[in-house]
Amino acid sequence: MPRVKLTVAYDGTEFHGWQRQEPPNAPALRTVQGVLQEVVATFVREPIVLMGASRTDAGVHAKGQVAAFTAESFRVPVERIPFALNARLPRDVQVRHAEIVAPNFNPISDAKSKCYRYIIEHLGPPHHAAPLFDRDFVFTTPHALSLAAMQHAASQLVGTHDFEAFAQVSHGRETTVRTIFSCHVRMIAPRRFAVEVSGNGFLYNMVRILAGTLVDVGRGHLDGNSIPAIITSKDRRQAGTTLPPQGLCLEWIHYGVPAEVIDS
């Protein structure tokens, strides 16, 4: 039976995250996995299990989520699968690419590196109105931010560390040691910054906490030189705030040699 790998993009605004959720005695919540699995099952005309690489939270977006399923057969060449699925999917989720992979391909355990991007816009001074049309894709702060201070702090996050201080307390993982391959803060528009971080894996809310810590550094609330001490403390209270989900996007997942962040 062929196993198919999908690269999936979605606007997470109206989803309760990636993972299928079926509360007892209540209708299933609208999730990306739930919507996509139903459409794929209809397409291949058989029940399937769709496995996703990253369990993004409600409101988080993706350009390069990876999912896989196994089916007895399908009616079109694999390169036509995205077109066939997109014709059936809602407008806020899209299959970008499809390919046949090894029968034992696991999108979670086979991943070597992931990249997330968090978009931040500060509103002054002088004061500027908050973004309107892309408000579901950017976090705004009234505080002016120092790009140089944030860049310096970001560089200190690179390496293999115990990131317990940058994880939600109820993260549920056996180990909090992760490797950050790169962490950059770039100005992408006036007053708008992108925090781009790639690593071999991330803890629950880790990127949102990293971004919140960098915002606290940028506004002068935290000393940028305190990052190593925060890491060593393993104390969530020492790191910055957890930023909201809408500024976060899963950019890509690589299955070969770990790669540096690439611009989307």
Select the more confidently predicted residue: 258 or 86. Answer: 86
Q: Which positions are annotated as active-site residues?
A: 57
**Residues 45-79: pLDDT tens digits?**
999 999 999 999 999 999 999 999 999 988 899 99
Domain with CATH 3.30.70.660 in the chain: 113-254
Instruction: Say whether 60 sits in a helix, a strand or coil.
Output: coil
DSSP symbols for 123-191: -TTTT-PPPSTTGGG-EEESS---HHHHHHHHHTT-EEEE-GGGS-TT---S--EEEEEEEEEEEEETT
Which helix or strand (DSSP H or E) is residue 248 part of?
A: strand 248-254
pLDDT of residue 173: 77
Provide CATH code, domain 113-254: 3.30.70.660
Which part of the chain has CATH 3.30.70.580?
A: 3-101
- For the 3-101 domain, the top CATH level (class) is alpha beta
Distance of CA 251 to the CA centre of its chain: 7
Q: What is the pLDDT of residue 217?
A: 98
pTM of the model: 0.93
